[in-house]
Structure 1
Amino acid sequence: MTRLTPYQPLLFRIWHGASGILVIGAIISGFLVYNTFDGRFGKIIIPKINPIQDIHGTFGVFFLIVLPFFAVYSFHAGKHRLLQRDSIQKLTQVGKPIWWVSLQRLVNTSMLIAAVLAVISGRMMKEEWLPSGEFDHIWYYFHLISWVIMVCCLAIHVLMSAKVGGVPLLLSILSWKLRPEDSPKNWYSRFRSWNIRGEFNQFIAGSLLLKSIEVIVLGGIITAFVLPLFFSGTGG
């Protein structure tokens, strides 16, 4: 018996798709930046791409623009995909279906935190550091660490999605199907009916762990926008 393909909300597919493309582009271009200028931990002999720093920076800037929308959606409409009150406890049930789901939620949440570290450290780097051989800046090390975490989390995210939902779940992310109630023409009316007080009350009543992570992530995104205004770092 085949499993029916689940339905993913259109907004989720938009933000997830945009974020996914930008993250993959940033990961690949980030490795090429490291491979071109650093390579202390191993490198691949490939032709040099002269504007690779600019390409990586472009992916980073667009990802920073998309990240606030995806983060807000994730912590509210998509909060069931993130850590829950009992997720840590359920991680002790190794091998059971709930363990796989809880692990996937942990990875999803970790990706948001790693993304914040990546955009903050990237914004605080100077473009001349790497071409000048200045590899010992703390922001560069933070950027390398965030790159490693993002690569690991992305790989586990795809594997866990395949494990938890199988091919139907993966196909649902790429599906073009649209339910009438999910049509863009209804977005304005849904936005007008959005209850800020209700969202705030749900936030207060939510898991302390998830609330703390939301504050860290959203605060980190704001920091990534404003911190370079007070320092001489440029995005990279």
Structure 2
Amino acid sequence: MSRSTPYQPLLLRLLHGISGILAIAAIFSGFLVYNTFDGRFGKIPIPRIGQIIDIHGTFAVFFFLIFPAFALYSFHAGNKRLLQSNSLQNLTQVGRPIWWVSWQRIANTLMLIAAVLAVLSGRMMQEQWLPTGELNHSWYLLHLSAWVVMVFCLAIHVLMSSKVGGVPLLLSMITFNIRSEDSPTHWLNRLRHWLSNLSNNFGVGINQLRQDNIFLKIIEVIVVLGIVTALILPLLLSSGE
């Protein structure tokens, strides 16, 4: 592979690929759950799948397991693909390359927020709600809304990726080529270096935060807190019953 050909880090390809497959599977099975038990906004006349809630839940659990690693990678090593301090301003440059890139970054960021909302609300739902027709619980409505946002952002992500980088960019996400400096043998040292930098920068002032894109930092905190809440809140509530 030539250096002029788009190249994506191996870890990004793995996290992006696995989380993407699981997210799409969860989105599709989530629609089947809605189609089977809800359908208030329209439905498709397809055969009912008896265990669709369990199938959807399985995909969602595996997505929840990989999502924290993908989110942390996105907010740090992949932060250039997320919301930048000038992204909203660049939306005025309609039709220019930066306009397409800005929409892609915004969609990527919204997808992370929607994903954590979907995970949290899904964890807080009770399996018997939908089969018994209890369709107006706040957690279910939040889950449904997060599903809509994820579908919308996924469509923008694919469209803008095609527009920004074309076929070469899309193919670069599924190539098996690995550069020597991208070998998994270097991952542990890079993790240690990242943790060291994170510790050194823990006491950074507000001025530095502004320089480092404070809006993205705030979103990262929201996503991380959402992941932690999704992990412990159901356990706390179940133990209190």
Whether TM exceeds 0.5 here: the answer is: yes
User: In structure 1, how many angstroms separate the alpha carbons of the residues matched to 2:200 and 2:7?
Assistant: 26
The CA deviation at 1:184 is 1.1
Which residue identity is paired with 2:199? R
Task: Decide whether aligned partners of structure 1 residues 43 and 232 sit closer, same or farther in structure 2, where only a CA change above 3 A counts.
Answer: farther
Q: How many residues align?
A: 231
- Residues 144-175 of structure 1 show CA distances to partners (whole Å, capped at 9, x for unaligned) of 10111111110110000000111010000011
Who is 2:64 aligned against? Answer: 64
Q: 2:218 aligned with 1:230, yes or no? A: no
User: In structure 1, how many angstroms separate the alpha carbons of the residues matched to 2:169 and 2:156?
Assistant: 15
Higher relative contact order (CA 8 A, sep 6+): 1
Which residue identity is paired with 1:171? L
Q: 2:216 aligned with 1:216, yes or no? A: no
**Does the CA-based 8 Å contact 1:32-1:52 persist in structure 2?**
yes
The CA deviation at 1:189 is 2.9
Equivalent residues in 2 for 1:40-59 (5 A)?
40-59=40-59
Equivalent position SS for 1:126: coil
Equivalent position SS for 2:129: coil
Equivalent position SS for 1:174: coil
Equivalent position SS for 1:94: coil
Gaps of 5+ in 2: none
Who is 2:114 aligned against? Answer: 114
Identity %: 65
Equivalent position SS for 1:132: coil
Equivalent position SS for 2:173: helix
Who is 1:20 aligned against? Answer: 20
Equivalent position SS for 1:89: helix
Who is 2:77 aligned against? Answer: 77
Range moving further from structure 2, 46-55 or 224-233: 224-233
Gaps of 5+ in 1: none
Range moving further from structure 2, 200-209 or 146-155: 200-209
Who is 1:101 aligned against? Answer: 101
User: In structure 2, how many angstroms separate the alpha carbons of the residues matched to 1:134 and 1:72?
Assistant: 35
Who is 2:144 aligned against? Answer: 144
**Does the CA-based 8 Å contact 1:162-1:169 persist in structure 2?**
yes
The CA deviation at 1:105 is 0.3
The CA deviation at 1:199 is 5.6
Range moving further from structure 2, 33-42 or 103-112: 33-42
Equivalent position SS for 1:193: helix
Range moving further from structure 2, 36-45 or 69-78: 36-45
- Residues 93-145 of structure 1 show CA distances to partners (whole Å, capped at 9, x for unaligned) of 11111111111100000000000110011001000000001101111111110
Q: 2:203 aligned with 1:197, yes or no? A: no
TM-score, length-scaled by structure 1: 0.93
TM-score, length-scaled by structure 2: 0.91
Which residue identity is paired with 1:79? N
